[in-house]
Chains A and B, each alone.
Chain A
Amino acid sequence: MTTFITRRILQTLAVIVILSYVCFYLMSLMPGDPVDMMVASNPKITAEDVARLKSLYGLDQPVYKRYASWMGSILQGDLGYSRTYRVPVQELMGPRLWNTFLLSAISLILSIAIAVPLGVLSALKPGSRTDYVVNLFSFGGISIPSFWLAIVLIILFAVKFPLLPAGGTQTIGAENMGFWADLKDRSIYLILPVLSLSIQQIGRFSRYTRSTMLEAMRNDFIRTARAKGLSRSTVIWQHGFRNALIPLITILALSFSGLFSGAILTETVFAYQGVGKLVYDSIIGNDYNVAMISFVISVSMVLLMNLVADILYGFADPRISYQ
């Protein structure tokens, strides 16, 4: 077990390092570099000045050397400075990460709370009307473009019936009105983003729950449990669902990347100030330091969650042995 965990951690680290290098290289392929941006609004600058500036910032060096020096300063705790926001990147990341965490965690909990009962319900009566409706709903959920759903929700609940804010994270000044007012304000802003992010997850989870539950209920021990006269709910939850839970953990782990992908789109549509929007805005706005850091941090988060789920998987199912 220990060797397995160490190996997985090393693998994850390797993926993160390789990915950050690839990303660094790709950023160098984006149109324009920091010095080009700087001199674009200054017609008096000469070619010598540009060359001098480029060598001052090390932009004339090959990519791998620039990557090494960038990595060096990261390891010393210097994340760089944001060109657009005019603050050090550290100050930018904290609240953004918290916002995205809130959005994804609430949406994940909500989708599990809705999808698992739906999936179990339809698995218990395969072919029934309930199963049919749940199936229809989950296919719709998987296929619906989340950003379009977000726009439709805005049109419905902010334009036609102005009940909820069309976008943003919180009302300006609300954080000074006391804890409860602040909480209420923020939750009002979260309703539509959480809704649009959850529909797809609900569709996916309920489908997987259905199929794993069907598989679990086909086992011999279910028949044994029924035969020895256990109550229906004990059979379903203690014997059936507990076994269906194991593959569900894997699905949950794989869903983190989908959740974060969805969060980027949702945050962009709702102008919700999270990491996803930061990744998008900084890449569009050529804010290289922010783009690199926010991208690497968010992807590392997803990979770490996968790692945790992998390890949990081992604890959930003692039959699995790791070499």
Chain B
Amino acid sequence: MSEMTMNEVEIETNQLSSKDRAELEKAQPMWKMVLTQFMDHKLAVTGAVIITIFMLIAIFAGTIQSITDIDPDAQNVGNRYLAPLTTAQVGQDVRETEIERFITENPEAADAVQKALVTKEIVAVAEADAIYELGAKETTEAISALQSLSLKEAAGLISLFKSFETFHLFGTDELGRDVFIRLVYGTRVSMGVGVLVAIASALIGLLIGSIAGFYGGLVDTVLMRVTDALLSLPHIPVLIVIAAIDMSKIPWLKAIISTSNESIFKMIIILCLFSWMSVARLVRGSILSIREREFVLAARTLGAKDSTIIVRHMFPNVIAPMLVAITLGVGESILFEAALSFLGLGIMPPTPSWGNMLNNAQELIYQAPFLAILPGLLIFLTTVSFNYLGDGLQDAIDPKAIRR
């Protein structure tokens, strides 16, 4: 290509149809250029796909629960530490209670089934005990016996017997809860906290950074000293200290916090307090350079207020780098949330999050090593995807990287 002369280029352009030429002459909009550039970064695109999948899982966690029909909080002490891909049977005592309830709720159907069971000699006990006798058998055997009756009254009982058998894609944890559905709900909590923290801290950073950059002088010095001081602190110990406090001892926070959402709410506040600094520095840097540009001078000459200049004229220019910062921030927040929950100071059980699932799993590495693998793998996958997405966005947005 490098040896191509001007003539050849001309010939090539001449071969294009008029429609293509019109396309070429039209200026490409910004987002299109960014998109083309972004699509070149294969790993970033993969990251975006993975993130979309996780987002969908997080949003449709309720639907997934109703499809699989597994309760994330249902405990089954008889079936702890089941390996992945196993089917668990409910314990005898639970079956008997369930059957008893079925009989009292549907006396006619139960009566018909009991009669049929005895007359067809499937069970050799009195009519009143027939269904219980069936319940003591293997679930699959009992279901096929019920189906062989070909009674329409047996339908309710068949579905009841089917519910005695649960399939665990990723096995069960130390309380016999299904790991798969807990991971699904954990996705909702972890992704939710990550995204909310990233957006909220980006807004805080935007506010502080733009005030510091726009007004300069003493305001700038004070704000940036605070930012630098916070940035130089080691995060995890500081977060541990803050996470350990009892927020209801602070009067003005008492009103918003209730016991049910306390740990999630606390988590978001704490992480926000310590993740706005990088955005603030980034915004301040851009605002400082934008401040000297002619269009700001023009706006000021026209009598625009400070707030108008900042919001209308400066913010659009910092959106692109902020988008990158938010993306990278989500990955970081997910890591911090997981670390704190892992230490037992973040999201409190029974609410599942990837981090607190690891907290329990650490003590069980001898009994059930697989419990420790999956949540961490999900954290890793999400963080790596967000990091690649941020990297891809940065390459795509940065005008120096665009090959024109």
Bound together: yes
Residues of A within 8 A of B (CB): 11, 15, 18-19, 23, 26-27, 29-31, 136, 139-140, 142-145, 147-149, 151-152, 154-155, 159-160, 254, 256-258, 260-262, 264-265, 268-269, 276, 279-280, 283-284, 291, 295, 298-299, 302-303, 306
- The reply to whether the CB of B216 lies closer than 8 angstroms to some CB of chain A is no
- B232 near A306: Cβ-Cβ < 8 Å: yes
With an 8 A cutoff between CB atoms, is B339 at the interface? yes
Tell me, rounded to whole Å, the shortest Cβ–Cβ distance linking A276 to chain B. 7
**Which A residues are CB-close (under 8 A) to B384?**
139-140, 143-144
Roughly how many angstroms separate A66 CA and B231 CA in the complex, as a whole number? 28
Least CB distance from B328 to A in Å reads 10
Q: Which of B3-11, B92-100, B197-205, B238-246 contacts A (4 or more CB under 8 A)?
A: B238-246
Q: Which residue of A lies closest to B237 (CB)?
A: A279
A139 to B229, CA, bound (A): 27
Shortest Cβ distance from residue B336 to the other chain A in the assembled complex, whole angstroms: 9
**A260/B343 in contact, CB under 8 A:** no
Contact B343 A265 (CB under 8 A): yes
Which of B242, B338, B339, B383 is in CB contact (< 8 Å) with A26?
B242
Contact between A260 and B245, CB atoms less than 8 A apart: no
CB neighbours (8 Å) of A15 from chain B are: 229, 232
Question: Is the beta-carbon distance between B380 and A143 smaller than 8 angstroms?
Answer: yes
Assess the A143–B387 pair: CB atoms within 8 A: yes
Binds A, one of B79-87, B315-323, B360-368: B360-368
- Tell me if B250 counts as interface (CB < 8 A to partner A): yes
Query: Are the C-beta atoms of B388 and A139 separated by less than 8 Å?
Result: yes
What are the nearest 7 A-B pairs in CB distance?
Answer: A148-B376, A261-B236, A143-B383, A143-B384, A257-B234, A29-B245, A260-B234
Q: Is B404 interfacial (CB-CB < 8 Å)?
A: no
Q: Which of B200-248 contact A (CB under 8 A)?
A: 225, 229, 231-238, 240-242, 244-247
Contacts of B233 in A (CB 8 A): 19, 257, 299, 302-303
Interface residues of B, dominant DSSP? helix
A139 touches B387 (CB 8 A): yes
**CB <8 Å contact, B234 and A151:** no
Q: Cα distance A262–B342 when bound, in Å?
A: 13
Q: Is B280 an interface residue (CB 8 A)?
A: no
Which of B244, B358, B388 is the one whose CB lies under 8 Å from A283? B244
Task: Find out whether the CB atom of B373 lies under 8 angstroms from the CB atom of A152.
Answer: yes
CB neighbours (8 Å) of A143 from chain B are 331, 335, 380, 383-384, 387
Which residues of chain B have C-beta atoms less than 8 A from A140's C-beta?
380, 384
The interface of chain B, by Cβ under 8 A from chain A, is 43, 225, 229, 231-238, 240-242, 244-247, 249-250, 331, 335, 338-339, 342-344, 358, 361-362, 365-366, 369, 372-373, 375-376, 379-380, 383-384, 387-388, 391
> What is the bound-complex CA distance between A257 and B229, given in angstroms?
12
**Docked-complex contact A260 and B237, CB < 8 angstroms:** yes
Q: Which of B240, B244, B249, B362 sits near A264, CB closer than 8 Å?
A: B240
Q: List 5 A-B residue pairs with CB atoms under 8 Å apart, sorted by A's residue number.
A: A148-B380, A254-B231, A276-B237, A298-B237, A299-B234
Q: Which residues of chain A come closer than 8 Å to B234, judged between CB atoms?
A: 256-258, 260-261, 298-299, 302
Per the bound structure, the CA–CA distance linking A11 and B229 in Å amounts to 9
Is the Cβ of A147 less than 8 Å from the Cβ of B373? no
Residue of A nearest to B381 (CB): A143
Complex CA gap A149/B245 in Å reads: 28
A151-B365, A283-B240 in contact; A30/B245 too (CB < 8 A)?
yes
Quick check: A145 and B245 within 8 Å, CB to CB?
A: no
Given the interface pairs A140-B384, A257-B235, the reply to whether A145 lies near B244 with Cβ below 8 Å is: no
Identify the interface centre among B235, B240, B380: most chain A CB within 10 Å of its CB.
B240
Q: Is the CB of A268 within 8 A of B343?
A: yes
A74 to B229, CA, bound (A): 23
Is A151 within 8 A of B241, CB to CB? no
Q: How far is it, in angstroms, between the C-alpha of A149 and the C-alpha of B380 when the chains are bound? A: 10
Q: In the assembly, what is the distance between CA of A298 and CA of B372, in Å? A: 30
Please give, as numbers and ranges, the residues of chain B lying within 8 Å of A265 by CB-CB distance. Answer: 236, 339, 342-343
- Distance to closest chain A CB from B393 (angstroms): 14
Question: Complex formed: what's the CA distance from A299 to B240 in Å?
Answer: 13
**Are B383 and A148 interface neighbours, CB within 8 A?**
no
Contacts of B373 in A (CB 8 A): 152, 155
Complex-state Cα separation, A31 to B391, whole angstroms: 42
Residues of A within 8 A of B383 (CB): 142-145
Contact between chains at A31 and B246 (CB < 8 Å): yes
Residues in A whose Cβ lies below 8 Å from that of B43: 136, 139
Given contacts A143-B380, A265-B339, A302-B232, contact A151 B362 (CB under 8 A): yes
How many angstroms from the CA of A27 to the CA of B244 in the assembled complex? 8
Given A257-B232, A265-B343, answer yes or no on A284-B244 (Cβ-Cβ < 8 Å): yes
Which residues does chain A contribute within 8 Å of B388, judged by CB atoms? 139
Provide the residues of chain A in CB contact with B225, threshold 8 Å. 11
Q: Bound complex: CA of A124 vs CA of B373, how far in Å? A: 37
Chain B contacts for A258, CB-based, 8 A: 234-235
Whether B376 lies near A155 (C-beta < 8 A) is no
A161–chain B nearest beta-carbon distance, Å: 12
User: Chain A contacts of B387 at CB under 8 A?
Assistant: 139, 142-143
Given the known interface contacts A151-B365, A152-B376, A279-B237, the answer about A30 and B244 at a Cβ–Cβ threshold of 8 Å is yes
Q: Complex: how many Å from CA A257 to CA B274?
A: 13
Q: Which residues on B sit within 8 Å (CB–CB) of A256?
A: 234
CA distance A280 to B376 in the complex (A): 21
| B246 pairs with A30, CB closer than 8 A | yes
